[in-house]
DNA sequence: CGGGTTACTTGACGTGAATCAAGCCCGATA
DNA sequence: TATCGGGCTTGATTCACGTCAAGTAACCCG
């Protein structure tokens, strides 16, 4: 573990409430790995061996079916996964794959389970982290059930931008193929959705997307001011 | 609070780890209400006032959009909601409505926040509870993204039945309209999906559904043995 | 510089599910 | 008993999105 990792570890909600000495003690059981783009951290259906905390790089969580797979969520530095599988000691529901080269904190499952049961601050951190995830997942389910593909793309782009801003450039968290999976559509449909938003001031080039008028886009997305409320 | 409520309270994962005296102390801040069918417990967009724990009856969690609403999840005795909104002190993402007459434990938000921060066992219970919810939500997202309406219905019915069983009768957690919402389809499509499953041995009458051959249904649902793994 | 690979876009077409619209069943009410 | 109304089913039609198939652009490697 490098000394430069500590600030990254502290940034995670999971550890926000844990005191310095306790944290140091906990981390003796852990190690950090630098892994290449495409590395698989855990595979759907396998038993949880480690809790992973992303220190740098981005990770994609994928659900796999017969001949298909769909990206469920993007994760970045500070995110921990898969807390639920580790805590409950059951198999993973998802496959996690690095989308970049990245550094990952590895925490043996049994040690983490014991710690979270013993240390109130860590459990509280886990509650905060899981609460945040619960909300993003609920948001995604609502989007899938209530919104069209174009509206979902609008909402997704707006969520990448700061609130109440003028023209902005946002950076997609992955290639178009991955974004399409996150939105629950095919890459082709995503391409068409971007085309449909172009008259509304969304001009895309590669991974950078310019939103000329966020207010107009927000209005179009259906009166969705309640989105993150 | 009635004495008959205590066993129900103990059944919830949230309190499983909390010792008897601590529990009694915590509950002094709470009260229990019996509410009629259709009562709204919290409304999307409002600030969290109470944590609710279902003691009896069933509750539906609904997402609301412009002119539409969709059932996101059914809850029953032992379930607590909306922990994330209460813990993070942010507005609800969902509206909760009683589907039956039911008894609900009401826990003032500020008191719960303080308790969960102070009491490791309670925080740990919350971690367990949220971990379970995380997994059901992930399952639902995977279903929405990867499965057709008919496959989703199959998976949903199978999840209601005990594993590895012969012919069974399952009870839907709500009317067809609600089940359709949970599956992300319209009631008409649900009706057609049931019709499509009839040749596979699914015969429905009202809220009771008979699955003549769960193994065959499971195979049909796509090689989804990994569903809850 | 050429050839290949990968990522994205665009077009034509098919299909699953929504929508519109009856019709049916059954329980509640007078 | 007659009438009403809500929940469910069924049929016809429409539409959003998926699928299949080119086509283009950018990048890598020989």
In residues, how long is chain B? 229
Phi and psi at residue A112, to the nearest 5°: -65, -45
Contacts of B147 in chain A (CB under 8 A): 65
Q: Do B123 and A128 touch (CB under 8 A)?
A: no
Q: Return d(Cα B32, Cα B54) in angstroms, integer.
A: 10
> In A74-97, which positions are buried (b, 16+ CB within 10 angstroms) versus exposed (e)?
bbebbbbbbbbbbbbebbbbbbbb
Lowest mean pLDDT, pick from B108-112, B175-179, B223-227: B223-227
Q: How far is B211 from chain A (nearest CA, A)?
A: 23
How much is the pLDDT for A222? 64
Question: What pLDDT score was predicted for residue B227?
Answer: 37
**Which residues in chain B (66-95) have CB-CB distances under 8 A to chain A?**
66, 68-70, 72, 83-85, 87-88, 90-94
CB within 8 A of B8, min separation 6: which ones?
Answer: B55, B56, B77, B78, B103
pLDDT in tens, A12-33: 999 999 999 999 999 999 999 9
Cβ contacts of A224 on chain B, cutoff 8 Å: 65-66
d(CA B24, CA B15): 11
Checking if the pLDDT of A128 tops 90, the result is yes
CA distance A181 to A186: 7
Domain ranges for chain B: 5-136, 147-220
pLDDT digit string, tens, across residues A90-126:
999 999 999 989 999 999 999 999 999 999 999 999 9
Q: How far apart are CA B98 and CA B206, in angstroms?
A: 20
> What backbone phi and psi angles, to 5 degrees, belong to B89?
60, 55
Q: What tokens appear for B163 in the block?
A: 């594993």
Q: Is the CB of B179 under 7 A from strand C?
A: no
With a CB-CB cutoff of 8 Å, which residues 115-154 of chain A face chain B? 116-120, 123-124, 126-128, 130-135, 137-142, 144-147
CB-closest option in B65, B72, B83 to A141: B72
Domain A5-143 fold: Jelly Rolls (2.60.120)
pLDDT for residue B69 is more than 90: no
The full length of chain A comes to: 229
Q: How far apart are CA B204 and CA B170, in angstroms?
A: 10
Task: Tell me the CATH number for domain B5-136.
Answer: 2.60.120.10
Check whether A229 has a pLDDT greater than 60: no
Q: Which CATH class is domain B147-220?
A: mainly alpha
**Mean pLDDT across chain B:** 91
Residue B222 has what pLDDT? 64
Please say whether the dihedral angle defined by the alpha carbons of residues A176, A181, A184 and A187, taken in this order, is positive or negative.
positive
Q: Do A134 and B127 meet the contact criterion of CB atoms below 8 Å apart?
A: no
Q: What distances in angstroms separate CA A16 from CA A30, A122, A125, B44, B85, one per listed residue? A: 17, 8, 6, 28, 19
- Predicted TM-score (pTM) of this structure: 0.93
B149: Cβ under 7 Å from strand C?
Answer: yes
- Of B224 and A43, more confident: A43
pLDDT at B118: 94
**pLDDT value at A228 more than 70:** no
B165, B122, B150, B118: which is closest to B222 by C-alpha? B150
Residues A39-53 pLDDT 10s = 999 999 999 999 999
pLDDT tens string B74-106: 999 999 988 898 999 999 999 999 998 999 999
Average pLDDT of every residue of chain A:
91
């Amino acid at each position: 573990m490098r000394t430069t990792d500590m600030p990254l570890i502290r940034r995670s909600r999971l550890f926000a409430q844990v005191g310095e000495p306790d944290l140091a003690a906990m981390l003796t059981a852990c190690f950090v790995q630098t892994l290449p783009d495409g590395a698989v951290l855990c595979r759907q259906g396998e038993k949880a061996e480690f809790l992973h905390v992303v220190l740098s790089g981005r990770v994609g969580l994928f659900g796999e079916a017969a001949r298909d797979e769909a990206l469920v969520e993007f994760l970045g530095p500070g995110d921990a996964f898969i807390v639920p599988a580790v805590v409950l000691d059951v198999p993973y529901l998802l496959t996690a794959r690095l989308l970049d080269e990245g550094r990952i904190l590895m925490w043996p499952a049994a040690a983490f389970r014991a710690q979270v049961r013993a240390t109130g601050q860590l459990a509280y951190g886990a509650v905060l982290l899981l609460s945040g995830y619960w909300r993003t997942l609920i948001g995604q389910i609502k989007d899938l059930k209530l919104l069209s593909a174009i509206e979902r793309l609008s909402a997704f782009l707006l969520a990448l931008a700061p609130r109440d801003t003028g023209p902005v450039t946002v950076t997609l968290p992955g290639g178009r193929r991955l974004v399409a999976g996150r939105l629950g559509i095919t890459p082709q449909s995503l391409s068409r959705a971007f085309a449909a938003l172009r008259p509304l001031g969304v001009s895309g080039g590669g991974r950078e997307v310019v939103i000329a008028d966020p207010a107009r886009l927000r209005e179009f997305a259906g009166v969705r001011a309640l989105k993150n409320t």
